[in-house]
Structure 1
């Protein structure tokens, strides 16, 4: 995860290509590539050089240098990206490298498909201060841009549509966005409550890569856990079962449209 964080800062904050970063840091291109992909040990000296090159402020540099020294356990429990360093989140470093994304969301609409108002409601319910919402949304919006190039399927449990996360107007706009996304070819499929697909205890995002093993990001609201092989095997099996039992994209659109029609008839809109 430290390598993913360094990649995120190179791309999102320093705006440097891998080749240019290699040239300026005097690290060979293969070495820097392996560091970012987690295939090479990253020393604290390497981290210090790269963070200085990327223009990272001293306070954030110190934490990552400590992680490289092994003084803290980095990469497993990820706090929400700080407002002053939104690119620090390891998820921002992994998503651009993924070729396929599969998401299961239980209590809310998946973040990659949320509208701003719906996302803000979720953030406030998670305890975020108003000042944090804009910074978090910038990160979330950048993540959503990955859907323009990656194969993505969202399995949305019926519970997510019934949970009172937002007001009716916000929910109406959110449902419309889901329908529009489905019409554009983005995979949006409902998982009916009561369907036997296995024990669904939490939301998660499965990231698959062209040459690397899959990575699971388990969503914990304001933080997350990254799982690697062999823990990913159970999620791959679960995806197969969910794929077989979830509503098709067409039937999902019909269900969502029915909800939109019902909301449109209420006095709340």
Structure 2
């Protein structure tokens, strides 16, 4: 019998997709498990990312769910990558496999720690700001519409009864870049001020007076979960990587702490955001 691999980032993302497929077909976990001769707990562990899955097992699940063609090939390829620690994914347009995994991690995380030196964090973006970003980056209108919709959908986690804890640090340059024009930017900054009043959100700004700092290397997001290991996400224009090794995650956790210490306090950060919003309105 082939040795079963431990679940990794890809395996956890794959498990979530399998769970969504089963629910979309209105099948119970116990019913599917019975067809395969499994204990229901096995399917549950696979779907929650607590147990890895062999290729022959996912092939059997896809047969039950009636998944064929390119979608079957994509999921089997994903399962093969699931044996590898970490996950590097390249893409061109539209929503990609890593996008779906990122959204799932965001929805399942109990705490999200993020650093953004260039842009307003996605969970705090107005739809008009997101649209302006897509246009500025040269994203095709059809793909831009899908991405804007997906980003709005992601923000639904903030309205949950028990939303995740958010600790977000941004650079002052994020506030001063008039993406979409100064009027839109002023509205976006007022939205940040409103969001910063939420009890689950800590928003800080690293002032330009800080000069150079290690956060200039680029943005990152760190996800903490209730019962699963943390994951760090890094993104580039045409690629994305998930890191899960403890020493890798520790590097970014320390970096997040360093940036928070370099930033203004949450109260002073809101004052700066309000000041810059007024400057945009006056221009």
- Shorter-chain TM-score bucket reads 0.7 to 0.9
**CA distance in 2: counterparts of 1:82 and 1:36, whole angstroms:** 27
Q: TM-score w.r.t. structure 1 length?
A: 0.84
- Counterpart selection for 1:231 from 248, 253, 266: 248
Moved more, 32-41 or 212-221: 32-41
**Which structure has the higher relative contact order (CA within 8 Å, separation 6+)?**
2
- Counterpart selection for 1:189 from 192, 196, 204: 204
The aligned residue for residue 143 of structure 1 is: 154
**CA distance in 2: counterparts of 1:87 and 1:9, whole angstroms:** 12
**CA distance in 2: counterparts of 1:18 and 1:38, whole angstroms:** 21
Query: How much is the aligned-residue C-alpha RMSD, in angstroms?
Result: 3.2
Superimposed CA distance per residue, residues 58-85 of structure 1 (whole angstroms, 9 cap, x where no aligned partner)? 2122122133245997961235697588
Q: Report the CA distance between 1:43 and its aligned residue.
A: 1.9
Question: Is the CA contact (8 Å cut-off) linking 2:118 and 2:174 kept in structure 1?
Answer: yes
The aligned residue for residue 6 of structure 2 is: none
Unaligned 5+ runs, structure 1:
none
Unaligned 5+ runs, structure 2:
1-8
CA 1:69–1:189 in structure 2 vs 1: closer, same or farther (change >3 Å)? closer
**CA distance in 1: counterparts of 2:63 and 2:99, whole angstroms:** 15
Superimposed CA distance per residue, residues 54-110 of structure 1 (whole angstroms, 9 cap, x where no aligned partner)? 565621221221332459979612356975888962112222221100110011111
- Counterpart selection for 1:90 from 101, 122, 132: 101
**CA distance in 2: counterparts of 1:57 and 1:164, whole angstroms:** 46
**CA distance in 1: counterparts of 2:26 and 2:89, whole angstroms:** 25
Q: TM-score w.r.t. structure 2 length?
A: 0.80
2:59 alignment partner, SS class: helix
Q: Report the CA distance between 1:251 and its aligned residue.
A: 1.1
Q: Report the CA distance between 1:131 and its aligned residue.
A: 0.1
**CA distance in 2: counterparts of 1:116 and 1:214, whole angstroms:** 29
Question: Is the CA contact (8 Å cut-off) linking 1:12 and 1:87 kept in structure 2?
Answer: no
- Counterpart selection for 1:23 from 3, 14, 31: 31
Moved more, 218-227 or 235-244: 218-227
Q: Does 1:108 align with 2:89?
A: no
Q: Does 1:3 align with 2:11?
A: yes
- Counterpart selection for 2:233 from 184, 198, 217: 217
The aligned residue for residue 99 of structure 1 is: 110
Count of paired positions? 266
2:152 alignment partner, SS class: helix
2:78 alignment partner, SS class: helix
**CA distance in 2: counterparts of 1:233 and 1:6, whole angstroms:** 25
1:230 alignment partner, SS class: helix
**CA distance in 1: counterparts of 2:17 and 2:48, whole angstroms:** 14
1:200 alignment partner, SS class: helix
**CA distance in 1: counterparts of 2:66 and 2:189, whole angstroms:** 41
**CA distance in 2: counterparts of 1:166 and 1:91, whole angstroms:** 26
Moved more, 163-172 or 152-161: 163-172
Give the alignment of 1:68-79 within 5 angstroms.
68-69=79-80, 76-79=87-90
CA 1:38–1:255 in structure 2 vs 1: closer, same or farther (change >3 Å)? same
Question: Is the CA contact (8 Å cut-off) linking 1:102 and 1:207 kept in structure 2?
Answer: yes
CA 1:197–1:212 in structure 2 vs 1: closer, same or farther (change >3 Å)? farther
Q: Report the CA distance between 1:225 and its aligned residue.
A: 0.9
Question: Is the CA contact (8 Å cut-off) linking 2:114 and 2:256 kept in structure 1?
Answer: no
- Counterpart selection for 1:172 from 182, 186, 197: 186
